[in-house]
């Protein structure tokens, strides 16, 4: 469910039934994740994957807060 502080990233209002698509939070998290994955010291697998995803969403939440 979208909240006023987490609007759709790419709303599509031209269709008969509007579709919101991904939220702005998800979009920010995806962009943050791209940056995090460019770190050559990044480790993959096990707990690292979920910790990296949590870090991406934490950064996204911070971006929404500043917005």
The confidence score (pLDDT) of residue 41 equals 87
The most distant pair of C-alpha atoms in the chain lies apart, rounded to whole Å, by 47
The confidence score (pLDDT) of residue 40 equals 86
pTM for the structure as a whole = 0.71
Report DSSP letters for the chain, one per residue. Answer: --BTTB-BSS-B-SSSS-B--SBHHHHHHHHHHHHHTT-TT---STHHHHHHHHHHHHHHHHHHHH-
> Considering the chain, what is the average pLDDT of its residues?
84
Which residues, given as ranges, of the chain have pLDDT below 70? 1-4, 12-13, 15-20
């Amino acid at each position: 469910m979208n909240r006023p502080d987490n609007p759709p990233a790419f709303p599509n209002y031209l269709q008969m039934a509007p579709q919101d698509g991904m939220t702005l939070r998800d979009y920010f998290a995806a962009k943050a994740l791209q940056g995090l994955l460019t770190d050559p010291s990044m480790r993959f697998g096990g707990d690292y994957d979920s910790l990296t995803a949590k870090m991406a969403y934490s950064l996204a939440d911070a971006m929404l807060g500043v917005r």
